[in-house]
Chains A and B, each alone.
Chain A
Amino acid sequence: MIEFIVNVFTSANYWFIVLRSTAPILLVTLGAVITESAGIKNMALEGSMLWAALVGVIVSSWTGSAWLGLLGGILAAVAIALTLGLFALKLDANAVLCGVALNLFSTGGTVFVLFSLTGDKGISSSLASKTLPFIKIPFIQDIPWLGKVISGQNVVIWLAIAAVVVVHFIMNKATIGRRIKATGENVEAAKAAGIDPDHIKFFTLIVSGVLAGIAGCFLSMGYTSNFTSGIAAGRGYVANAAQVVAGGTAVGAIFASLIFGLTDAMATYLQNVGLPPELIQALPYFVTILGFIVVTLIRDRRESIRKKKLFEGKLPKGGLKPVMTGSDAGGATPV
């Protein structure tokens, strides 16, 4: 057993798979992090990914260009995110319920469109779609272990890493980041400061749509080379759990999505050992919810200690700090 684990963790192939399965989760988790910071829960990420995956395949087969496919996919994903915004922000609908509706809309809708175009409900193999390029890095690919891990990865893995930097920059360095946080923490205060909360929320929805779009296109044009029905396989939902684990930061999103990536990659190895595949398939979701529970537990404990201190008049050093509460802590927003 120990030998098996050591073998897995030292093999370059394992870490190659880890990077590959972490990247899409990382992208959507970043999307969830940024919308959640603005105080709107984007449950439609799953739907965004599905449409992006399908539209990416269709556009790339029509135009013969994977990049135009990616663009199309991103636009489709943004359209879903904007629909959520339209109903949740302009028509006063419950955002979570809208997300559920849009996911339902997308699960069946993508199959409907696929069938109407190709006559097949399961897979898009009759469309000659392209894949996004895999990048071989000139010198690094000759380094024995490292070369096998990071050379030959899809361009989207690098896009995901770039996205972490971009989202981190947006959230912490740019003016818009402060506005996002202000909107998320106190809408009335943000309004008083001259911020239009709806604008900010729409902006974060667009960003999350772009990220989910890239992730969706990766699934059908890189991770695999076809669209299959239900290709997102709950990654959008996992992202919503991972966002809580990430604690609302872009760097935290790396760790949160790595939890999923490590287990997901491990699952492929465990299958070879002869453990029942059904239970192994459940493993990534199980680990995600475990992380989700542990993090909410810790945060809740920390907050109750803080409240106790406040009550006793012992303030922490540096005065009061804003603490994640309410929807940031993953719920408790009345619906």
Chain B
Amino acid sequence: MNAMSEWETVIGLEVHVQLATKSKLFSGASTLFGSAPNTQACNIDMGMPGVLPVLNEEVLKMAVKFGLAINASINSPTQFSRKNYFYPDLPKGYQISQLDNPIVEAGFLEIIVKEGKKKIGITRAHLEEDAGKSLHEDFKHLTGIDLNRAGTPLLEVVSEPDLNSAEEAVAYLKRIHSIIRYLEISDGNMAEGSMRCDVNVSVRKKGNKELGTRTETKNVNSFKFVERAIQYEIKRQVSVLEAGENVVQETRLYDSQSNETRPMRSKEFANDYRYFPEPDLLPVLIDDEFINSLKDQMPELSESKTKRFVKDYQLTEYDANVLTVDLNFANFFEEVAAKSKNPKLAANWVMGELSAFLNQENLTIQETKVDSKKLGNLLNRIEDSTISGKIAKEVFEEMWNTGSSPEKIIETKGLKQVTDSVEIREIINQALDQNPTQLEQYKDGKDKLFGFFVGQVMKISKGKANPEQVNKILKEKLEE
């Protein structure tokens, strides 16, 4: 690993974001995922002779919103081009994409790294249509073509080579993911391919100004795989260079099974795409009125939400960051906080107990088994001393498993906290009576045993005694 420290890594990412429109980029066909093959491809998607594309205006809005979110400039006019290559799942033999004047250009976003914040440049984000899918496994000696995905709108987000480690790359990806989710322009589901990533990696000797030869690893489809693919490529390239050889500029594939990248067949990428302006679509003018109307619709993004959480709820920046990574998660927290009137407690529970249960069952916040209203009610029972925090965890588990309300569980299980001082006094007496030896020792100056007595009291009360009162009365009792 010592050798590694002489090297510096330079990474740029190309992220393909599938935009969540109802219909396709240039046709009225539905974009729904998972339908029977070729049932969601109309004549336009199939590239029938004579068909023409018509731009889906919803897509423009989404792309402009993304541009606004990353502080970019919006090009007007923006222009579509044809990218020519032959592939069976590319019905027209060209993909309608953007080359010159992409809709979004020159933006940036900030990621949080060990040293603080780091600005990552975004060169451009352009619109293009997705291709269909080739199905090689389902047919013997034949390839099946499913064109359902053909024509689905994609926003390709190209970063500057500003990332220097796998961790930074993942942090950047997560920021992109957060932005598209906050803007509700994509579901960002990497497993279903709604967000895919091409990773450009090169290494160079520290202090070198010139970039090393890069490789492009295509279609990596999870945060974890992006991290691993980059780590693999860094190691591979460093060992190639240290052996005195040259890195070959090539397109590679990441194999998650073997956790390695390997070169694609040269044929699969040796293309001159012969871009030229798409004559079937006129350049699109995007006027200020259009942009301003979208500015008004921009939601609060995670960065400003974090700031607001710190200010309004007195949360730490760390907690606020955790809560705002996901929009639904942040919304859930705010609902609980509103219900419970104790934001700090709400934050602890959402990030602690709730997250632990979600993670254990691999659920998203939308799939939670305890809704924000019930969780708020539970926290209120802690606040009004009906139950202790410890008992609350027991109640929460029951709520999670049964879907029952906290009130009902407290009632039927008799978990209501004992706050009657007479009753507590009795339990304390019982605890002192049962442990004469320890009482003797305490009186001889062994102060540490105070905790022991608190434990005994809680044990006798089955955890229901109000801890504050126990502390207070026990102290009085022992000092008598």
Pair from one complex: no
What residues of chain A have their CB less than 8 Å away from a CB belonging to chain B?
none
